[in-house]
Structures are given as structure tokens and as C-alpha cells.
Chain A
Amino acid sequence: MLFMYFIGDLFYLSHFFGSDPSSILTTLKGNEEEFIEPLSAISILEHIHISMFLSIMALFTTMAIVLRLNISKRHKGIIIFISMFSLLISSISFLTTYYLSDIFVYLFFTGTIFWHLSGIYALILIFTQLWTKKA
């Protein structure tokens, strides 16, 4: 189910905000030429409030299992650092894109891709070790 969450959330975000930085900016800040209204500050806050809770719980649970895997400490450290740090960057840059500057949208885009992919990678590792009974 966590696997489905990581994949499904990527689809949900690309459907709701857009699948590239420019369409994400259009969704967040609107576009007068295309008559697209910007998202309200309350909607932005509600999104970050809900999505952060879900992503923290999903990544924290996954990484708690990664800690117990039969792989090197360095490998575990890299997975945990990349996933949690990119989630942190993605969450902060989502707010800074809306409130400060458009340039942060690239950080949001990259951070979002990275924490989802590292979550998926960690789950594949977990599945593999469970399958081969290495864990």
C-alpha cells in the first residue's frame, strides 16, 4: 500500500499541479491570458498541511524498515538522507514558490520527484530482501 501511495501521489500531484515547472507555476499563481485563477493562500496551506502529514508518515515508516535492512550503513544513510532531505526541500520550496519567488518551483519539482523515487527505491529494496530472506 505504501508503494501504491508513492506512485499514486506522483500521479495525483502531476494531475493537480501539473507535470512540469511551468504548469505548476500556472496552477499556483494563475495565468491572466488563459483566465486561470491563482490558488488561494488558504488552499496552499491546506495542501501543505495534509500532504506533509501523509508524506512524513509514509517516509518515516518506510525508513524505519530501511534501518533494519541487511545493507551497508552508508547505503542506509544515503537513502534516509536523500528521501527526508528532498521532502524537506520540497515542502519549504512549495511555500517559497508561492510567497517569495518563481525560481523555487524547480526545487519543489526536483524535491518531489526525489522523495517519491527514493521511497519507491527503499520499498523495492525491502521487498527484495524479504523475498530473498536477507533482512
Chain B
Amino acid sequence: MISKKLYFLLLSFAIILISIQLGSGIWLFISKYGLTPSEVYKYFAGDEESFIMAKSFEGLIETAVPHFLAISTTIFVYAHFLLFTKIISEKKKQLLIFGLFISAILDISSSFFIINGYEIFAFIKIVSFWSFEMLMGLLLYILFWVALNSYKTQKRKQV
């Protein structure tokens, strides 16, 4: 049988590390694209006045493909722990996982619409990016809470 103490130790480290990784993603997003839809649009579609070159389809594919793999793997690895918890209802679990995947897909694919001149997707990219980050934060918080409670329960049983 797997020790709950060791399981808690491993999951806590994984949650802290993936939080830093998410933090680096937020930092990168703000540094590269900016915070407003107009800044995001200029970054992808280009702006002659600011001497910003429009991004190419090939350039976006180079970023999108590894992100599709990385984000889907991350959601799968971390969200599958929800199956073993009862802290939230099945409906809420489904909503959380669905929200994570939809926001990630919208975030990654909206860049392709922006370079084709659809300004609204700059707004969608910002909303979906922050939704993904917040939902991921919520998922990590739930997992940490469950792991901590399970560790405490086992410790109480031992006493």
C-alpha cells in the first residue's frame, strides 16, 4: 500500500512546481503579449507604426503544437486525481475539466484567427488565458486540500 505521507509529499511538491510553471506562463504572457486586447492584437497581427512584424502561420504552429501536448498532458495528469476525491460533486468535476480544456483550446487557437484579422479573438485570447490559469489554480488548490485532509485523517487514525 502507498504511504499517504509520501503521496502527500510528492503531490505537494508537484503542485508547488506546476504553480511556478503556471506563474512563468503568466509572466511570459504579460511580457510578450501585454494585458489589453489591442496589445495582444498588435503582437500577433503586427503594427507598422510600432515596427512590429506580423506573426507567421508557421511561427504560431511552432508554439501551438508543443502547447497542445503539454497542456493536455498537464490537465490529464492533475485532473485525473479528481476521480479519487469526493470534495466536489461529479457535475462540478466535469465542469472544471471541461472548462480547462475549452479555455486551453481557445487560448492556443485564437492566435491563428488574430493573424487573419479577427480582432475579437484578441479579447477571447485574454479571457481564455486567464480563465485557464484560474481554473488550473482552482484544480491545484482542490488537490492540495484533499491530499492534506487525507494525510491528516491517516495521522489521526495512527494516533
Contact = CB atoms under 8 A, between A and B. Distances in A.
Given A46-B28, A53-B74, A80-B10, A91 B20 contact: yes
A10 interface: no
Interface string A38-58: 000110011011101100110
Interface of B: 2-3, 5-7, 9-10, 13-14, 16-18, 20-21, 24-25, 27-28, 31-32, 66, 70, 73-74, 77
27 contacts: A41-B31, A42-B28, A42-B31, A45-B28, A48-B24, A52-B21, A52-B24, A53-B21, A56-B17, A56-B21, A60-B14, A63-B10, A67-B3, A67-B6, A68-B2, A76-B3, A80-B6, A80-B9, A80-B10, A80-B13, A84-B13, A84-B14, A84-B17, A85-B13, A88-B17, A91-B17, A92-B20
Given A46-B28, A49-B24, A52-B24, A67 B17 contact: no
B6 A77 contact: yes
A4 B25 CA distance: 27
B16 A88 contact: yes
B14 A56 contact: yes
A82 to B, nearest CB: 11
Interface SS of chain A: helix
Number of contact residues on A: which range applies? 20 to 34
Contacts of A92: 20
Interface of A: 41-42, 45-46, 48-50, 52-53, 56-57, 60, 63-64, 67-68, 73, 76-77, 80-81, 84-85, 87-88, 91-92
A56 B10 contact: no
Given A45-B28, A60-B77, A88-B17, 4 more contacts: A52-B21, A77-B6, A84-B13, A91-B20
Nearest to B2: A67
A5 to B, nearest CB: 14
B73 A57 contact: yes
A46 B63 CA distance: 11
Given A77-B6, A80-B6, A80-B10, A49 B73 contact: no
Nearest to B7: A67
A16 to B, nearest CB: 18
